[in-house]
Structures are given as C-alpha cells and as structure tokens.
Homo-oligomer: A and B are copies of this chain.
Amino acid sequence: MKAIEASLIKTHKAAKALQAVSSKALQQLLMDMAAALEANQAKLLKANALDLARQTSGNPRNDRLLLNEQRIGSIAASMRKVAKLPDPTGEVLAERTLPNGIQLKKISVPLGVVGAIYESRPNVTFDIAALCLRSRNAAVLKGSSEAATTNALAVKILHGVLKAHHLPTALINLLPPDREVVQELFKATRYLDVLIPRGSDQLIQFVRSNSRVPVIETGAGVCHVYVEKKANLEKALAIIVNAKTSRPSVCNAADTILIDAPIAARLLEKLQPAFAAFEVEIFADPAAHRLLKGYPFLRKAAKADFGREFLSMKCAIKIVAGIDQALEHIDRYSTKHSEAIVSEDKKQCSRFIREVDAAAVYTNASTRFTDGEEFGLGAEIGISTQKLHARGPFALEKLVTEKWILQGDGQVR
C-alpha cells in the first residue's frame, strides 16, 4: 500500500495549488469539465456498457450504475450550476483589532483533501469532483468495482481538463476499487482532512465506526407530518399526499402521519381515495385502524412500524390526543431530519418550530423540500442529521473550515 500513500502525498501537496487560483479560473475549469464530459459522451457510454456487461443481467442495482445521454446531460448541467455558485472560501467571518493592536481575522478556508467512498453511481465521481474543486479542495475518490471502467474514463477526461488549465492531475485522485484501499483511507489522517461515505446506510455506518479520519455523515430520514386539530384539511391532504407519494424512495419523504383525534375521521375520509390511487399500504394504530376499515391496503401497525424509514409506498398513521403527544412521539421516533406540522393556529406552529429537534422544521408545507437546490444552496452531498459542522443540506458552503489570522508587530503575552 506504499503506492496509495505516495499518491495521497501528491494530492495533499497539490491541494495547496488551488489556493492561488482565481475564483473565475475555477469556474472556467468546471465549465470546461462539463463540456469535456459532453464531448466524450460516446466514449463514456461505451465504457459504461463494459461495466454493465460484467453485471448479472436483471439485477435491479444495475440501474444505479447505468449512464445514458439524459444522465450525462444532467451531470454536466449540475457541474455548470456548481461552477456558478459563489466561492465559499475567503469569506471574512470575524474581524477585530485586539486591545494590544493585533489585527485578528477569521476567514473560511478549504478543508484541504476530501476523501469520498461511494457505491456504483457514476455521477458521484463528477459531483464530488465539482464540489471539491469549486471549494478549493482536492478529491480522493474510491468508487465501486462495478463502475471501475466508467470511473477510470471519467477521471481521465477530468484530468485532461486539469492539464489544459496547468493544474496538477493529483487534485482528482481516483484510487483502485479494492477493499484494502478503504482501510488505508481510514488511517490516512496525515493526508485526508475529511472522509465522506456516500451510499447505503450500511456503508455510512461502516465508515463511521472504522475511520480515524473525521467523517462527514448524512443520515436517514424518519419524517413525520403532524396534522393539528386547527389544520386546513385541504392543505393537510395535499401535503400528506405529496410528502408520501411524490418520491417515496428519498430521505425527505414522510413515513408517519400523526393526526389530532377530533379531525381524524374527516381527514382520513379524504385521505383514503388519494392514498388508494397510489396503492399506499397503511400501517395504522388501533384508533386509525377503526377509522380506516374498508381501506384496501390496510395493516395493523406493529411497534417497529413507527420509527421505520419506509422508502416506499408505505405509511404509518397514528391518532394523537393533541400537540403534547405528537411532540413526544416525534421526539421518540424522529431521526431529526425533516418534520412538519399542518395547522392554522400560529401559537401551536411556533411551539412546534421551537420544540421539535430536527434539521428542518416545517409549518404548512411538505417535507419534500429538504434539499440543497430547493434551499438555494446548490448541489448537495446529502442531508446531514448530525448537529456538528453542518445540519440539513450538506452543500458547497460547508466544504470549508476556518482559519484565525493574527497580524502583529512584535506583540507578546
């Protein structure tokens, strides 16, 4: 593994080169990378076909690996969007003159070298490279063996653009897709500043438990929509249906609906045909189960159905006595991702905002908006449910750290 260390040393050194490049030149670099990606579309599709040919046909996971014209187009579009985002480094975060005359400044600076461990989606290679370069970080990439041919060509294309800009190719360091490489990354505290696992929950937990390099973690979302008794039921219906059915496989989709008892019968009457149209399987608590008698996809909720991230057309429903019980339930089962209240009562909305502990708290809107693009932050690495460093969409603006600069004239303490 001497070769891996040698390549990490090169990347660590190359990272410093990015500090002297102008923001405009970095923007042009990403625009040129997007163009190179499109210009090499045919070759990329061929490489991707080779990767796909090695997989068992009919495996549903093959779709994650697949590139096509449309996907390449959207990767290029995303790179151009990242290019246009403002430079997150060099921001003056604090500035003062100390009583002794020292000029103190705190500025945002790149993290340095960002490592990424990910699964078979080839877009991650481009996404991470773009976000890292725009924020003046070097990227160390460890993709999956399934995507090896695609990733190798992808990085070759990006290296061509780096060379044309007289920048070191070590800024994007694609490592071999071997398991031993992962172990090397876990202990590379001297050369890697952070490590980002991107993919399944298992992958994230594995990296979190084993890495000595600090991990930027994105998490699962067990999201609740609570319909308070003074809710506008039309709004509640639209929000629930959207939060559950518009894209059930993503982390900001709703999992559990909590409904105040006095309005439960009326709301569930409206909800049944809407959910039935999407064949949503409902896991109901006893009270909701009684009200939903006759619903075609009805099941009794087991204990484990609350706090479960369904990622599919399944939904838990529970009737609550009021906001106290709703808040308690959310506190018990939420993964602190996105939580919503539907109510026309401003006081209850304020209480919900204050007391619910989550990255994103909504009043009268769908939880589906928790997303970097929707929040106006641009492309994201994922949604952080951690409390340290970043919470919510982990976007370009968080790929930085701080540096305190103290300029003196001989001051001593």
Contact = CB atoms under 8 A, between A and B. Distances in A.
Contacts of A390: 402
A369 B403 CA distance: 14
A390 B19 CA distance: 21
A365 B410 contact: yes
Contacts of A388: 194, 214, 216, 388-389, 401
A235 interface: yes
A407 B403 CA distance: 35
A358 B106 CA distance: 12
A406 B369 contact: yes
Nearest to A387: B401
Contact of A407 (B16, B363, B405, B406): B363
Interface residues of A, number: 63
B365 A406 contact: yes
A408 interface: yes
Contacts of A104: 375-376
A391 interface: yes
A277 interface: no
A410 B235 contact: yes
Contact of A389 (B20, B389, B392): B389
B214 A403 contact: no
A386 interface: yes
A413 B369 contact: yes
Interface of A: 16, 19-20, 96, 98, 102, 104, 106, 111-112, 193-194, 214, 216, 232, 234-235, 238-239, 241-243, 246, 349, 353-355, 357-366, 368-370, 374-376, 386-392, 401-413
